[in-house]
Amino acid sequence: MANDSTATDPKHVIHLSAECYPVAKVGGLGDVVGALPKYLQHAGLNAWVVMPWYNKPFVQRHDFEVVYRGNFQQGSRPLEVQVYKEKHDVLGFGLYLIKIPGLLDRDEIYSYVDESEQFMAFQHGFLHWINEAAIIPDVVHCHDHHTGLIPFLMYHSDEFTAFKDVPTVATVHNGEYQGWMDWNKAILLPTFDTWKWGLLDWDKVINPLAALIKCCTVFTTVSEGYLQELTEQTNGLEHLFLMEQHKSFGIVNGIDTMVWDTERDDMLHQNYRITDVQSGKNKNKAFLCNEFGLDSTKPLLAYIGRFAGEKGADLLPGIIENILSSDGVELSIIVLGSGDPQVQTAMAFLAEKYQGKLGVHIGYEEELSHRIYAAADFLIMPSRVEPCGLNQLYSMRYGTIPIVRRTGGLKDTVRDISEKDGYGITFQHADIDDAVFAIQRALELYKDKKRMQQLRKQLMKIDFSWDKSATKYVELYRNITK
Ligand code: ADP
Ligand code: GLC
């Protein structure tokens, strides 16, 4: 990795996020925040991640020291804040956890009824700490709406004037979720210049994602394609994204090749490299199919992900029913995911109906996901919205051919086999017919063993590592701190 920083470059960058792998993750946000700072360190920066404290195995099993204790008020509620630092930088960057008894001391990341109070306290607690400790970073980098109030508070709260010249970067991983809250919660925020209330508002509620975009110095999205889509369809914020386009950048996510490495991934049944991809994948496939009671001599199609409308998960039961009920179709399918209860029920029903052809695991299993990427021949993503998508990148890295809907980051990262140097299968519409047709194309392709072999090798050679994209972030930091 190149170390091209100079003495005048920004040095200290603080990332704020609700998730960071392997501390706490429910999706790609965790992966990105667990990887990008590591690569920034390699590029010569001092990158920190600050996140809420969760009662998770990583936190229980690692050494932390309390580096700050203090108190602040959330409205009339007195809160205590403790900042825990992981002692040995085991993740390759500074990891700091904000613990606030009664709000940020729980098992799960999301879905509590007082989520707004939790994330307000996280942001307030963070600013309170760095203010009291006189820590002035060169850049503050906020991820998604959970950290969306930070730039507003840095620039418009009289408690935090020390940070009014510190530039902020916002990254939009998912514009569908915006953190909306009623205006009656404004009283829970640190005191701010009330003339500036409009910066918090979108459509008569406090909208942290909108506030983030309005107040940040620059914002990025996780692919070029999604940057364009934000101005066309973002749950009501299209106009805002259009107005603020002048300070936007599309930087596609990378993958952490230190974690996603077929040669060293200790979660796999069998490690493999490009030269023995065929036999390596076959061994992983045989093992996994045996576990799920599936026939490993047939092609194996997988789905991994949240059962959410944006992922097109509601289409899965129809797609599976359609393909498995077709005459003469030879296919094994594995589905790993959880979310929408209707999809969960439909998947459990289909798993019964198509025993021996369909294996379903409802839940979140990091290790199983690795084993599926390694074992599958194809991975399907019928997403309606996909800002970047990491699953297709992991699957390609593991020699598994992606079948994706042409949208957002999927469109940017997967080229159809019908195009020059193409290596994946793409389809236009998020509907059952288009997805089924794409799977039929995959089944045709599977018959051509030589082409499959060549494609697997081609996929594994593509460079999706963070090195390239991290360099773009470094450049961005440099430009805004000049
Ligand atoms: P999103 O963040 O929108 O869910 P991404 O494609 O960016 O989508 O990232 C999803 C990440 O979560 C990937 O690392 C994927 O392997 C992982 N993942 C999703 N669902 C599961 C699951 N049920 N079990 C294990 N890992 C999962
Ligand atoms: C979001 C998006 C996903 C993206 C991830 C990481 O969760 O839905 O497409 O890959 O963030 O940026």
Q: What are phi and psi of 24, to 5 degrees?
A: -160, 125
Confidence (pLDDT) at 261: 98
Q: Which of 333, 342, 357, 359 is nearest to 307 (CA)?
A: 342
Tell whether ligand 2 has an atom less than 6 A from the beta carbon of residue 174: yes
Tell whether ligand 1 has an atom less than 6 A from the beta carbon of residue 365: yes
Q: Are 388 and 409 in contact (CB under 8 A)?
A: yes
* Residue 197 in tokens: 């209330």
CA distance 387 to 172: 8
Q: Is the pLDDT of residue 6 over 80?
A: no
> How many Cβ atoms are within 10 Å of 297's Cβ, its own excluded?
12
Residue 408 CA to ligand 2 center (angstroms) comes to 10
Residue 77 CA to ligand 1 center (angstroms) comes to 36
Confidence (pLDDT) at 5: 45
Question: 50: part of which helix (H) or strand (E)?
Answer: strand 46-52
Q: How far is CA 152 from CA 62, 168, 198, 404, in A?
A: 34, 10, 11, 37
Domains identified in the chain and CATH numbers = 12-256+467-480 (3.40.50.2000), 274-463 (3.40.50.2000)
DSSP string of 275-323?
A: GGHHHHHHHHHHHHHHHHT--TTS-EEEEEEEE-GGGTGGGHHHHHHHH
pLDDT in tens, 81-127: 999 999 999 999 999 999 999 999 999 999 999 999 999 999 999 99
Who's near 474: CB < 8 A, 6+ residues apart? 4, 5, 9, 40, 43, 45
Tell whether ligand 1 has an atom less than 6 A from the beta carbon of residue 395: no
Q: Is the pLDDT of residue 229 over 70?
A: yes
* Residue 34 in tokens: 């667990």
Q: Are 234 and 241 in contact (CB under 8 A)?
A: yes
What residue spans of 16-110 are helical by DSSP H? 28-42, 57-61
**Candidates 17, 20, 26, 31: which one to mutate for ligand 1, based on the most atoms within 8 Å of Cβ?**
31
Q: Which atom of ligand 1 is nearest to the CA of 174?
A: 3
Angle (CA) 408-140-407 rounded to 5° is: 0
Report residue 50's pLDDT band, with 50, 70 and 90 as the boundaries: very high
Q: Are 371 and 284 in contact (CB under 8 A)?
A: yes
pLDDT in tens, 427-481: 999 999 999 999 999 999 999 999 999 999 999 999 999 999 999 999 999 999 9
Taking the model in full, what pTM does it have? 0.96
Residue 463 CA to ligand 2 center (angstroms) comes to 19
pLDDT in tens, 168-200: 999 999 999 999 999 999 999 999 999 999 999
pLDDT in tens, 197-227: 999 999 999 999 999 999 999 999 999 999 9
- The number of the ligand nearest the C-alpha atom of 367 reads 1
